[in-house]
């Protein structure tokens, strides 16, 4: 797909285009090009954050701007699915922690400033295992455990 085809699909069916972006069927570089050449609606900006190839730089620079434009309901479309959240730097942006460390992110959890975001983050299969383990220690939410760890608890 090239920019012309992107634009044609944009003009005819933004929802289909959004689905293709989320699924990674449209190269992330082409999405970036389109974002630079035209004004993309909130729907497509949210989809770009969920794109499998969304890098941490794009995510960090755009997450809050997109949330501000699309509203907090967009968190429900981003946080459980965004592969970029495998990077602690991206999670730091989401929860507004002081540093991109598990300890600092857990401090943000303890203060309760981002509880809704944490409830959505724990559904994301890409968040780092060490963060999942710490969140499990605090919440007791078994969905955070790896399959191997769950097998140990089942006798």
Residue 67: inside a domain: no
List C-alpha distances in Å: 94 to 12, 90, 113. 33, 6, 11
Is the residue at 106 inside a domain? Answer: yes
Residue 152 half-sphere exposure toward CB, CA atoms < 13 A: 6
Q: What are the tokens at 72?
A: 């907090």
Q: What is the DSSP string of 89-117?
A: HHHHHHHT-SSSSHHHHHHHHHHTTTHHH
User: What's the total number of domains in the chain?
Assistant: 1
Please indicate, yes or no, if residue 43 is contained in any of the structural domains. no
Are the CB atoms for 4 and 38 separated by under 8 Å? Answer: no
- 65 falls within a domain: no
Secondary structure letter of residue 127 according to DSSP? S
pLDDT in tens, the chain (155 residues): 999 999 999 999 999 999 999 999 999 999 999 999 999 999 999 999 999 999 999 999 999 999 998 888 899 999 999 999 999 999 999 999 999 999 999 999 988 777 888 889 989 999 999 999 898 888 787 777 766 666 665 54
- Could you list the residue range(s) of the whole structural domain that residue 135 is in? 85-155
Q: Is residue 5 part of a domain?
A: no
């Amino acid at each position: 797909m090239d920019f012309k085809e992107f634009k044609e699909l944009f003009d005819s069916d933004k929802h289909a285009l959004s689905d293709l972006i989320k699924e990674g069927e449209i190269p992330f570089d082409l999405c970036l090009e389109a974002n630079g050449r035209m004004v993309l609606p909130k729907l497509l900006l949210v989809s770009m954050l969920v794109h499998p190839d969304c890098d941490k730089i794009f995510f960090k620079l755009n997450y809050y701007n997109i949330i501000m434009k699309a509203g907090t309901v967009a968190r429900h479309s981003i946080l459980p699915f965004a592969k970029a959240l495998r990077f602690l730097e991206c999670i730091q942006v989401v929860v507004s922690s002081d540093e991109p460390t598990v300890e600092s992110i857990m401090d943000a959890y303890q203060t309760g400033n981002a509880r809704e975001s944490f409830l959505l983050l724990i559904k994301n299969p890409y968040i780092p295992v060490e963060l999942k383990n710490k969140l499990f220690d605090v919440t007791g939410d078994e969905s955070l455990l790896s399959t191997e760890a769950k097998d140990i608890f089942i006798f």
